[in-house]
Structure 1
Amino acid sequence: MQQVTEQQIIPGYQTFASNTQHLANSLSLYCSENLQQEQFKQAKQQWRNTMDSWQSIQAIQFGPIQENNLGWELQFWPDKKNLIAKKNKGLLLEDSELSDERLQKASVVVRGLPSLEFLLFDPKALSYGDQQRRCDLMQGIAKHLVNVTHKLHQQWQTEHAQLLMNPGTENPLYPEDKQAIAVVLDSFLSSVEVIKDRKLGQALGLKARKQHINPYLLESWRSQHSLENIRHNISAVKTLMETGGFSAYLNSQGQQALNLKITQSLETVYTDLHKTDKTLFINLGEGEAEQWQAVVKQLGPLIQLLKHDLPAALNIQLGFNNNDGD
């Protein structure tokens, strides 16, 4: 737990908080420099960097982020009804001042990274309201993200790290060490299930009555950053095993065969995700689904290893997560 916390969780949140600040600075520069294209390009790249750092810790759905559902403040997704565009359009076209207070009263839909993605990458955003209002909204969202991510990083440093690293009868969240390990493992397992069922499965139409490919159901489709998101999710699981100490622990317990199975399964998925230079949005738009259906198939055995074999080897029991259904 010390390795996971100090080597992965706290540095991950620190990088995320740093990137949101860089994003806010980048948008401020763009809006103050007469909307120069070079600054706009830099702001879009910094959005990508920020999204990458979020995807690297997106699996950490425990701790401070659970309080007040802060995950929704960072990212509203899936967005099957295109609420991102609708809610942003409403804010851009109304007359009221776009103050911090107005943004907080608005829907959570407009306060996260997907909202900024719409404003930076979707051509439709340019046709709603004027440039100044668009700048006011982007800078307001960026400021909100800075506040949320710095708060999360601080809470991990000052309080939650000690709770996760020191399970015991006096610990209100983790009375037993096995509980702490189970929470971490369950969260990362959940992230792999989300890749299989939502990030790839929904766009591929795998659970639809009539299978239909729809690239607009991809996460971050506007920026065409969907594949990078998944790559960072899988890299995070690899980091959990390697830097987080799970592999070393399995080896120390005579579970070298299981550790090898998990690392090889992860490596197979990771390699398959890097077999194309095209974006996932373009791939699916061109009807090239076979490669991604194969990735979904590869994720099945990995999920089984993380859901059954690894908990059994660690002598822990996983609880129900958000992907287990009703």
Structure 2
Amino acid sequence: MQQLTRLVGVSALALSSALAMTASASDTSLEARKRWHQAIYQGYQSLETEAEDFSQAASTYCSDPTPDARQAVEQDWLAAFLAWQQVRFVDFGPVEHNNLSWQFQFWPDPKNIVARKAGYLLKSDDQIDKDLIKASGVAVQGFPMTEYLLFDEPLNSGANALPTAKTCRLLTAVAHHIETNSEQLSHQWRSLRDHYLANDQYRDSTIRAGMAALEILEERRLAQPMGLRGTGKRSAYAADAWRSGTSLRTIEATIRGLKQHFLPGLSVLLTEAEQSQLARQIAAQFDEVLDNFPTLHRPIDALLSDDKAFAELQGLYMDVSQLATLVNDQAASTLGVVRGFNSSDGD
């Protein structure tokens, strides 16, 4: 009888310990999700603010196209685009609705659809307004289209160069569309808070989003233009934002966004899993990647065409690869997260 009592006591103690561990893990997951939701919301608010400034600057420029106004609209375009890069890794939730992420950035674009769509709209007799932009598809609706209008050299040396009236109407209509989508995204993410915090599935969804962003950054945004993947030839046209010469600025913004909006929650989970050393390694590797800037704030074609400069780009690539290994292999394995399909990787 004493032995039975002892066995029951041991079983009860084991069950109690297991329940305590489960409760602790659940509390930690909730804390991570609280940090993620707030950080991402701040990122979306920044995007909303910068997009509003860009839309206003586009309208001001087209109303009074002075050199100063042109410089202002280009600077505000870049600020808004970099704000998008900081939250670009979030591939679930409101940004999935109506292909919103693709509306912000249609990329990759190997067939140069953005330029072809712009050419069609500028030659057509259609009235360019918000309804036409809504109906014209994702290649028209986002930052790559406004980048094309502002920075494409053949366009801006031809008959449709800004501030031509129809080109200005297209610029202001798309900028307004970006502004509207940014407001919608920020509002809907805030409204998602209770559901996000109540559902532990968002733990893995958020981790996978960070993993996918690093994979896309390593394989598509760096390796492919560098000729390390695909054709094996260096090509600036395989990078995003090559027209504005800001491909490397966007990469820096993505890394900063992951550090600010993704790393804090990940570190909470790793620390709870008794992997605080790994959490410190990942934080240090984020800094290692960012140490490549601002030296690499140059157009990517200049980095690809000069071997000395290309060596600097290789250094960045190796740092990003190491970061991806730490997060996508070591951290993911520790937390039991398996890389899933990502609809934003261009496949």
TM-score (norm 2): 0.83
Q: Does 1:20 align with 2:51?
A: yes
1:193-247 Cα distance to aligned partner (Å, 9 max, x none): 11111111111111135x21111221101111111110111112222455x3332
Relative distance call for 1:248 and 1:110 in structure 2 (3 A) is same
Aligned equivalents of 2:236 and 2:194: distance in 1?
Answer: 42
Aligned equivalents of 1:37 and 1:275: distance in 2?
Answer: 28
2:205 is matched with which residue?
Answer: 183
Q: How do 1:45-194 and structure 2 match up within 5 A?
A: 45-126=75-156, 127-129=158-160, 131-158=164-191, 160-167=192-199, 177=200, 179-194=201-216
Paired letter, 1:29: T
Aligned equivalents of 2:153 and 2:322: distance in 1?
Answer: 40
Q: Is the 8 A contact 2:43 2:87 kept in 1?
A: yes
2:316 is matched with which residue?
Answer: 295
Q: Is the 8 A contact 2:88 2:254 kept in 1?
A: yes
Aligned equivalents of 1:277 and 1:320: distance in 2?
Answer: 32
Q: In the alignment, which of 265, 270, 294 is matched to residue 250 of structure 1?
A: 270
Q: How do 1:262-277 and structure 2 match up within 5 A?
A: 262-277=282-297
For the residue of structure 2 that corresponds to 1:245, the secondary structure is helix
Q: In the alignment, which of 200, 225, 237 is matched to residue 203 of structure 1?
A: 225
Relative distance call for 1:276 and 1:153 in structure 2 (3 A) is closer
1:46-76 Cα distance to aligned partner (Å, 9 max, x none): 0000011000000011101111211111111
Relative distance call for 1:103 and 1:241 in structure 2 (3 A) is closer
Paired letter, 2:90: I
1:220 is matched with which residue?
Answer: 241
Aligned equivalents of 1:32 and 1:285: distance in 2?
Answer: 39
1:7-47 Cα distance to aligned partner (Å, 9 max, x none): x11111111111111111101111111x1111011000000
Q: How many residues align?
A: 311
For the residue of structure 1 that corresponds to 2:224, the secondary structure is helix
1:309 is matched with which residue?
Answer: 330
Paired letter, 2:208: D
Q: Is the 8 A contact 2:147 2:243 kept in 1?
A: yes
Paired letter, 2:149: L
1:36 is matched with which residue?
Answer: 66
Structure 1 unaligned regions, length at least 5: 168-176
Shift of 1:317: 4.3
Relative distance call for 1:148 and 1:83 in structure 2 (3 A) is same
For the residue of structure 2 that corresponds to 1:203, the secondary structure is coil
Q: What is the identity percentage for the equivalent residue pairs of Structure 1 and Structure 2?
A: 26
Structure 2 unaligned regions, length at least 5: 1-32
Paired letter, 1:184: T
Aligned equivalents of 1:28 and 1:324: distance in 2?
Answer: 33
Q: Is the 8 A contact 1:251 1:259 kept in 2?
A: yes
Select the structure of larger CA radius of gyration. 2
Shift of 1:292: 1.9
Aligned equivalents of 2:298 and 2:329: distance in 1?
Answer: 35
Shift of 1:119: 0.5
Q: Is the 8 A contact 1:240 1:246 kept in 2?
A: no
TM-score (norm 1): 0.88
